[in-house]
């Protein structure tokens, strides 16, 4: 069983930065593609960022492109989301997700098998 635990959320002013972390249990972390998603109150879960198994491919939602950076450390079983120039509309619960079987760029929540509980990010204006 794979477990994902996010951390690093909090309250930040607009224009500020946060770095989210996702710790993944298990010995085969490098075999999983990873994604970050977010969900604001009253809205559907939204894709944020994707990273391939070897970090060779990353992909971002248009709304965060140029501001957010996804990365991973396969030696530490960690994936990160560096968020800069935060806006109030970035306020949401952010979750990391993992999947072992998918190929290509994976941006649909249904394609991921494992999810963390999420960490709250609140950006004040």
The model's pLDDT over 22-49, given as tens digits with 9 standing for 90+, comes to 999 988 999 999 999 999 999 999 999 9
Interval 2-27 mean pLDDT: 96
What number of residues does the chain have?
A: 125
Residue 114 pLDDT > 90: yes
Interval 81-105 mean pLDDT: 96
In the block, which residue shows the tokens 């794979």? 2
Q: What is the CA radius of gyration of the chain?
A: 13
């Amino acid at each position: 069983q794979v477990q994902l635990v996010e951390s690093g959320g909090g309250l930040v002013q607009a224009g500020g930065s946060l770095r989210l972390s996702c710790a993944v249990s298990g010995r085969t972390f490098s075999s999983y593609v990873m994604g970050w998603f977010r969900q604001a109150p009253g809205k559907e879960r939204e894709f944020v960022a994707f990273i391939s198994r070897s970090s060779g491919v990353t992909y971002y939602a248009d709304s965060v492109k140029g501001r957010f950076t996804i990365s991973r450390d396969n030696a530490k079983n960690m994936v990160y989301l560096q968020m800069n120039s935060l806006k109030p509309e970035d306020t949401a619960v952010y979750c990391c997700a993992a999947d072992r079987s998918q190929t290509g760029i994976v941006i649909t929540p249904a394609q991921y098998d494992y999810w963390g509980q999420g960490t709250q990010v609140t950006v004040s204006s």
